[in-house]
Chains A and B, each alone.
Chain A
Amino acid sequence: MAEVIVVTSGKGGVGKTTTSAAFATGLAQRNKKTVVIDFDVGLRNLDLIMGVERRVVFDIVNVIQGEARLNQALIRDKRVDTLSILPASQTRDKDALTKEGVQQIIEELSKEFDYILCDSPAGIEKGALLALYFADQAIVVTNPEVSSVRDSDRILGVLQSKSKRAEDKREKVKEHLLVTRYDPGRVERGEMLKLDDIQEILAIPLLGVIPESESVLRASNTGMPVILDPESTAGQAYKDTVGRFLGENLPHRFLDPAKKGGLFKRLFGGRTA
């Protein structure tokens, strides 16, 4: 049986798709058969972030409506061969997703894959609810910013009441906090919420902290998940996060402001890699 993981946040623009792409790639790099599903019907973007936008043939709605088979809609990643992507439909409306349809897809994928990652759309509407409904575990992506923390708290409530596990009164969805766009310099200057504060407010176990990094924009520009960039601090932090998820005991890195560096570095752009 595959483990179903939802990447969710409530708020938009906090890094769900970046995280889904990086995390799925990271699991696949560890030889776990991994599929990542884009649930944002009408506004798909995971294909762009994964760099497979030119190869999309069929999508999740085609499969649900019986117009294509699941294996025809899956896109095999060319960089990591244990990784597949199931794109969202760009043209259909959200009602094309049904609980029964999604259930069928997840059951079929469970036979072939170890991990099924569900990249949730923002909000708490149908697409987001379906993305989290079948989850065994949830990665709650949160920025150190008031509205993001509030929305994360809201989505935690939804996980505890509207997921299948909650409805079936089974063991609750395992929740993980992932703080992204963390800027230790601004935290030190008192301009940004501290990690401890976010943890205290949301009160769920911390899986990882991804530092604010210029390499994330570069990754999305080029369609290469940031975890494939070995120089990137964000990529390294995602690698650690995947390791922790798989049970490794790794310390959190990049929590302190980067050292200033020499004159050379300051002159020639020693910015956050």
Chain B
Amino acid sequence: MSWLDLFRSTRKPPASAGLARERLQIVLAHERIGRTREDFLPKLQAELVAVVARYVAIDPGRVVVNVDRGGDMSTLAIEIELPGAGGPARR
């Protein structure tokens, strides 16, 4: 053990309990809402895809849904890949 290790062993990692509390508050807030309301994401996705498909021929397999649940704000991103200009898309 070199003398430098003496200092190294005193270096404490940052306290993590605060982060645990924050993460729990966010995840539980969202889960508690979810308990009183049905899980709408599958339905929302199906309906959105159906609306878009009325105008553009799309592959239902090329739909990416992302959410990011935050404390003050969450984002829901639905990415629907549209076929290229040479594809079967209607104008």
Q: A interface vs B, CB < 8 Å?
A: 48, 53-58, 62, 67-69, 71-72, 90-91, 215, 217-218, 220-223, 231, 261-262, 264-265, 268-270
Contacts and interface: CB of A to CB of B under 8 A. Distances in A.
Contacts of B41: 57-58
Given A53-B23, A268-B10, A218 B65 contact: no
B9 A265 contact: yes
Contacts of B12: 269
A54 B68 contact: yes
A217 to B, nearest CB: 8
A54 B66 CA distance: 10
> Which residue of B34, B45, B61, B68 has the most chain A CB atoms within 10 A of its CB atom?
B45
B37 to A, nearest CB: 10
Given A221-B16, A264-B6, A268-B10, A55 B66 contact: yes
B20 interface: yes
Interface residues of B, number: 29
A223 B35 CA distance: 24
Contact of A221 (B20, B26, B34): B20
16 contacts: A53-B69, A54-B27, A54-B68, A55-B67, A67-B42, A90-B31, A90-B34, A91-B34, A215-B13, A218-B13, A221-B20, A222-B16, A222-B19, A265-B9, A268-B9, A270-B9
A58 B65 contact: yes
B31 A264 contact: no
